[in-house]
Chains A and B, each alone.
Chain A
Amino acid sequence: EIVLTQSPGTLSLSPGERATLSCRASQSVSSNSLAWYQQKPGQAPRLLIYGASSRATGIPGRFSGSGSETDFTLTITSLEPEDFAVYFCQQYGRSPHTFGQGTKLDIK
């Protein structure tokens, strides 16, 4: 099974700042089949990024994904108040389709 490790566990930033979230895989993720999700309290997760770097429909341009093989990054430029949430990465290239443990982005 591919283990995904997200860092940091918690990231405290202010609106307007840039956020960089990391997702590291224990093995190469095939075909860059890596997704990022955002989850707010009491809500289902929302797909942000798929294929490591493609934005899902309706996702603002301040969200971007990068990386390949075992190292992936989600970047949020100029944080908006609604961006403070928990972020998960998931690899869907090889079963089981594992998730990272999540990064909580909170307001400083």
Chain B
Amino acid sequence: QVQLVESGGGLVKPGGSLRLSCAASGFTFSDYYMNWIRQAPGKGLEWVSYISTTSSFTNYADSVKGRFTISRDNAKNSLYLQMNSLRAEDTAVYYCTRGLPSGYWGQGTLVTVSS
């Protein structure tokens, strides 16, 4: 069955960096666009970024453009999100999702940006 397992979240100070990972299994990873979507505590959903199957195309929400970088390793069935210059407003649960639209979601990993 399809599984998406995020890791790498935690507590980081403003201005710091964090790298999220998503391990995919149960499907041919290289066949699907992948996304990062986040949800601040008690708030709605915010699309963050997506990446095409061969990494040839990526796109970002304006709120993270220039600070976050999405990447993937099809040989390792893994998706990544490098997050730099983190701000308090980046505090959220970050979900790894498959496809457009997001047919499968991981359980999420919590990122807390606080001093």
CB closest residue in chain B, given A56 = B103
A46–B45 CA distance with the chains assembled, in angstroms: 12
Which of B45, B61, B103, B105 is most buried by chain A, counting CB atoms within 10 A of its CB?
Answer: B45
Which B residues lie within 8 Å of A39 (CB)? 45
CB closest residue in chain B, given A57 = B103
Per-position binary interface string of chain B over residues 36-70, scored 1 when its CB falls under 8 Å from any chain A CB and 0 otherwise: 00000000111100100000000111100000000
Whole-angstrom distance between the Cβ of A34 and the nearest chain B Cβ: 9
CB closest residue in chain B, given A96 = B61
Interface size counted on chain B using CB atoms at 8 A: 20
Per-position binary interface string of chain A over residues 41-57, scored 1 when its CB falls under 8 Å from any chain B CB and 0 otherwise: 00011110010000011
Taking a contact as CB atoms under 8 Å apart, the answer to whether A99 and B103 are in contact is no
Cβ-defined partner of B101 (8 Å) among A1, A90, A98: A90
- Given A50-B101, A96-B62: A44 touches B44 (CB 8 Å cut-off): no
Which A residues contact B (CB, under 8 angstroms)? Answer: 1, 33, 35, 37, 39, 44-47, 50, 56-57, 88, 90, 92, 95-102
Can you pick out 17 interface pairs between chain A and chain B where the beta carbons lie within 8 Å of each other? A1-B62, A35-B101, A37-B45, A44-B105, A44-B108, A45-B45, A45-B95, A45-B105, A50-B101, A50-B103, A57-B103, A90-B45, A96-B61, A97-B47, A99-B46, A100-B44, A101-B44
Which of A57, A88, A99, A100 is most buried by chain B, counting CB atoms within 10 A of its CB?
Answer: A99
Taking a contact as CB atoms under 8 Å apart, the answer to whether A44 and B47 are in contact is no
Whole-angstrom distance between the Cβ of B31 and the nearest chain A Cβ: 16
Taking a contact as CB atoms under 8 Å apart, the answer to whether B59 and A99 are in contact is no
